[in-house]
Chain A
């Protein structure tokens, strides 16, 4: 058995069956970190002694058939913006280089309650924006892993942990998910509590999850969900599912290989019995960049107004520009943007009168070369709408880097989204992994 290759569901099953020791599991993952992380740089803090002590305790309990929850003995990576009690949390910035929280973020508490072992903290971009951290793409270290959840996505892709936690304000989960060839979800904002996480723009900040299978995402999301997450009322029958392909805007922004993969997948889904048809976007869609950027700039300016004065050198140039632009926006314009967002959400949700799930590319193409974190254009409209959204790997581009697709459902319809994603995952049958 090669523990690093196990999905979360496989590992959890083996721990329950007594076939996999939580201690052996984390030691195996530490060996993997030692082997690959000097190149990938996905992890920023790992308290090995603490993790090993926790794993020993989990092993003792597992031997007695005492399981804390669905994640008993599962090591999880956590983006370095979520507070972890007694474990350094830097927000990717020198401003917080020595910051050690005295309490856990809500998601960290929920992970621990479900039996997860917090394996360590994953690299974020500087203060959760576009200025990159050191993380490289495991598929090709000359390319970006995306951001801001760079380390969380790369750690899972590099098989140094089976699941990780990230966050998305515009495109910080879906984009790295697509670039790193892993499965990701950004649930509806109210589904998972962001309390105890460093904000960028609070009305848009969402918790996210990365893993290597839809099943792993489902188990983790059930542990994190603030409200019960019932399965979709019926087991999904492919013949009844209506998948809308959003060609305008999204396919226009995608490269030829990505468009080709989407067309290919549409054909395969129809052959598998799905109803697949093109979607027309409402008129207000054109306003989404203006609404989104007004909210992000204004809220980021409010978040950072004190810190940027106290620690100007801790800021990257992109975040400094964002904050300063936000300081120029007056309150009435910000409030108008919030009101127009409601109109946008009202008009966008009507797309689901005709479709169960919407299909778009996960990114315009494979991860770009260099360290700039790429374009969140494929995620921005859905984040603003607060539609739960998943990415799945769909194949490899000619340069060997992964390409991703994205599925979105109506707010709080994660059950339907997950069921559909599971069926789509089966149709795609993606098995490739990075060679590190």
Chain B
């Protein structure tokens, strides 16, 4: 089974990066309100980015 790296150590780092982008775009109050969702987003983006996809395997 593919196990998405929901608890990968890089997830909190990515969540912080997303928070930084959110502060830039929407301001710190809104970014803070989004923080729980940003952690979930980070988990999902990590799952996407860690999936092994090769050029030779393009359907």
Contact = CB atoms under 8 A, between A and B. Distances in A.
B43 to A, nearest CB: 8
Chain B interface, >50% SS class: helix
A290 B37 contact: no
Interface residues of A, number: 25
A325 interface: yes
Interface in A332-349: 333, 336-337, 339-340, 342-343, 345-346
B59 A346 contact: yes
A81 B43 CA distance: 33
A287 B51 contact: yes
Nearest to A297: B41
B53 A283 contact: no
Nearest to A345: B59
Contact of B34 (A324, A333, A336): A324
Contacts of A219: none
A293 B45 CA distance: 10
Interface string A288-321: 0111011001000000000000000000000001
A324 B26 contact: yes
B59 A328 contact: no
Contacts of A98: none
Nearest to B1: A283
A329 interface: yes
Contacts of A290: 4, 43-45, 47-48
26 contacts: A283-B1, A286-B3, A286-B4, A287-B2, A287-B47, A289-B44, A290-B43, A290-B48, A293-B44, A294-B45, A321-B34, A324-B26, A324-B30, A325-B37, A325-B41, A327-B25, A328-B38, A329-B41, A329-B45, A336-B53, A339-B53, A339-B58, A340-B48, A340-B53, A343-B59, A345-B59
Interface of A: 283-284, 286-287, 289-291, 293-294, 297, 321, 324-325, 327-329, 333, 336-337, 339-340, 342-343, 345-346
